[in-house]
Structure 1
Amino acid sequence: METIDMTLIGKYLRSIRLKKGLSQAKLEKISGVSASTISNIETGNQGAAYNISLQNIIKIAHALDTSFIQLLSKSGFLLAIGEESFKSDKSEIYITNHELINIFNRLGPSQQQHIVELINEQIKLSDQENQKKLLQK
């Protein structure tokens, strides 16, 4: 069996943390996960006494205002393990950015705001469903 590179998750978490201007100590206060554990996750330290905890990764992701499924997806982890079910969940609807912008711009400001709110709500629901599916496996 091929080993999985867990450093993908750590590197991605680190990049989000740095983009938000947070130190590991500040993230510790927000997430409740110790700075040393955050450091171990970010650097991929998997020494004999260290075990990556799914709970800690989820706490850190939420503290960084990202969902667990976004973390797995955007870090490249799902792609790296060849998660076919995740790939198959992608929409088959295709529209170019230009077409989408033109359609959106035809709406009034309040309609645009409503569409953005609907999309954000659907993303949240989808992320929650995907998290449940992953935790059930």
Structure 2
Amino acid sequence: MESSTPTNFGSYLKDKRVQKGLNLVQLSETSGISAAQISRIENGKRGVPKPENLKSLASALDVPYEELMRKAGYL
């Protein structure tokens, strides 16, 4: 099982958001997760998101849900 720290996952999430050309507000609007919460995740100031939030982020970023679950350390 690949373990992930909040900082590692946050960096990964930010990279995916930037690759998609989205700012925090745009990702927030698309995912339904507050921009403040996404910022805390990206900066490692909040733990790895719950699976239901990962599902929303995966959809908004057009990334496979399983990939986010793996990066978050759930799989």
Partner residue, 1:68: 65
Q: Relative CO higher for 1 or 2, CA cutoff 8 Å, sep ≥ 6?
A: 2
Query: Based on CA coordinates, which of the two structures has the bigger radius of gyration?
Result: 1
Correspondence list, 1:96-135, <5 A: none
Question: Take 1:51 and 1:12, find their aligned partners in 2: how far apart are those partners?
Answer: 11
Aligned-pair distance for 1:53?
Answer: 3.0
Q: Provide the aligned C-alpha RMSD in A.
A: 2.6
Question: Take 1:15 and 1:51, find their aligned partners in 2: how far apart are those partners?
Answer: 16
Partner residue, 2:34: 34
Question: Take 2:49 and 2:59, find their aligned partners in 1: how far apart are those partners?
Answer: 16
The percent identity for this pair of structures is 34
- TM-score w.r.t. the length of structure 2 is 0.75
What 5-or-longer segments of structure 2 have no aligned partner?
none
- TM-score w.r.t. the length of structure 1 is 0.45
Q: SS where residue 38 of structure 1 aligns?
A: helix
CA contact (8 A) 2:5 2:48 kept: no
Question: Take 2:6 and 2:41, find their aligned partners in 1: how far apart are those partners?
Answer: 8
Aligned amino acid, residue 5 of structure 1: T
Moved over 6 A (4+): none
